[in-house]
């Protein structure tokens, strides 16, 4: 029996929330569990592309916005089990500027995603830029789920409501299947009362949407990108690897068999 393909945008308009760290390491942990994962890097900073050590990424996903190139041709293999990536590049910033703010421009990625061969991947994870602009709108139309990583800091809380409000707007007008499926506390230092209070506040506001696991602050996660390896390969026994494996298990537990 098959399972529904999961498509998840990893989104928080606040930079430094843990989006890229979550996209890369969640992908690797899903891959360890036998899942086939396609990461789409939609951030002009191309941090996920760099982290996977993609050589000569070219313009990457920018091509679909400017040349209307087939998405499948942009897919690159990685050294990580089960994980492939569509790279980003700085060109993406220019693409966003030339697109007009209209529904047609928001549907480009979704159009190409619909044309991907079905069931070649079990998961599509989109690493979003730290903005709620046209690129992010494209992600929100192309996927069904949104995962919001939240840095455990009180300044991060209002941002969560803004992401939820954007998702609601998109759902009402352009993508009826879209929903926030998971809110993940990130960079949690369990020794500080401040971090514990923020996580408690998240749980009281958003209840079951908040993952059981809290991704702890772990320097190995911050070191891994320089080594071009996800945490599972860079330091398989670190707290970071343990936490992202636990997150992957929670996400896998929510898989749904095809009706």
Ligand X SMILES: Nc1ncnc2c1ncn2[C@@H]1O[C@H](COP(=O)(O)OP(=O)(O)O)[C@@H](O)[C@H]1O
Chain contacts with Mg ion (rule: CB under 5 A)? 19-20, 47
Binding piece for ligand X, criterion CB under 6 A, among 17-25, 57-65, 93-101, 158-166: 17-25
20 binds ligand X per the rule CB under 6 A = yes
Q: Contact, 198 vs 154, CB < 8 A?
A: yes
CA distances from 192 to 152, 195, 210, 211, 216 (A): 10, 6, 20, 20, 12
- Which residue from 130, 159, 164, 171 is in contact with ligand X, where contact means CB under 6 A? 130
What is the nearest approach in angstroms of ligand X to the Cβ of residue 62? 19
186 binds ligand X per the rule CB under 6 A = yes
16 binds ligand X per the rule CB under 6 A = yes
CA distance 227 to 217: 18
Tokens standing for 224?
């891994």
Within 46-85, the residues that bind ligand X by CB under 6 A are 47
What is the nearest approach in angstroms of ligand X to the Cβ of residue 100? 27
CA distance 246 to 60: 31
What is the nearest approach in angstroms of ligand X to the Cβ of residue 151? 8
What is the nearest approach in angstroms of ligand X to the Cβ of residue 12? 6
Q: Which residue is nearest to Mg ion (CB)?
A: 20
CA distance 183 to 146: 9
CA distance 49 to 81: 16
Q: Contact, 85 vs 58, CB < 8 A?
A: no
Tokens standing for 249?
């298990």
Residue 175 near which of ligand X, Mg ion, none (CB within 5-8 Å, type-dependent): none
- If the CB atoms of residues 13 and 47 are measured against Mg ion, the closer one turns out to be 47
Binding piece for ligand X, criterion CB under 6 A, among 18-26, 152-160, 191-199, 250-258: 18-26
Name the burial class of residue 196, with classes exposed (0-12), middle (13-18) and buried (19+) by CB atoms within 10 angstroms of its CB.
middle
- If the CB atoms of residues 5 and 86 are measured against ligand X, the closer one turns out to be 86
Residue 211 near which of ligand X, Mg ion, none (CB within 5-8 Å, type-dependent): none
Residue 137 near which of Mg ion, ligand X, none (CB within 5-8 Å, type-dependent): none
Phi, psi (deg, nearest 5) at residue 185:
-65, 125
- If the CB atoms of residues 28 and 215 are measured against ligand X, the closer one turns out to be 215
Extended beta strands in the chain, E state: 6-10, 37-41, 76-77, 83-86, 123-127, 145-151, 179-186
Size of the site for ligand X (CB under 6 A): 16
Within 202-221, the residues that bind ligand X by CB under 6 A are 215, 217-218, 221
Q: Contact, 5 vs 124, CB < 8 A?
A: yes
Residues forming the site for ligand X (CB under 6 A): 15-21, 47, 130, 186-187, 215, 217-218, 221-222
């Amino acid at each position: 029996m098959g399972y529904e393909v999961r498509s998840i945008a990893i989104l928080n308009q606040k930079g430094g929330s843990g989006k890229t760290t979550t996209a890369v390491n969640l992908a690797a942990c899903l891959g360890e569990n036998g899942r086939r994962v396609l990461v789409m890097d939609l951030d002009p900073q191309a941090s996920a592309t760099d982290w996977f050590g993609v050589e000569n990424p070219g313009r990457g996903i920018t091509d679909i916005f400017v040349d209307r190139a087939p998405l499948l041709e942009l897919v690159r293999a990685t050294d990580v089990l089960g994980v492939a990536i569509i790279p980003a590049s700085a060109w993406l910033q220019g693409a966003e500027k030339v697109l007009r703010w209209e529904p047609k421009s928001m549907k480009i990625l979704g159009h190409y995603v619909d044309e991907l061969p079905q069931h070649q991947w079990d998961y599509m994870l989109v690493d979003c830029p730290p903005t709620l602009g046209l690129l992010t709108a494209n992600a929100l139309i192309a996927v069904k789920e949104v995962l919001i990583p939240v840095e455990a800091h009180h300044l991060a809380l209002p941002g969560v409501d803004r992401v939820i409000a954007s998702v609601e707007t998109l759902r009402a007008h352009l993508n009826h299947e879209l929903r926030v499926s998971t809110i993940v506390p990130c960079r949690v230092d369990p020794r500080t009362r401040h971090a514990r209070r923020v996580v408690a506040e998240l749980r009281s506001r958003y209840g079951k949407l908040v993952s059981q696991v809290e991704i702890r602050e772990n320097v190995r996660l911050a070191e891994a990108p320089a080594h071009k390896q996800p945490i599972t390969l860079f330091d398989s026994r670190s707290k970071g690897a343990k936490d992202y494996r636990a997150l992957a298990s929670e996400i896998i537990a929510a898989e749904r068999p095809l009706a």
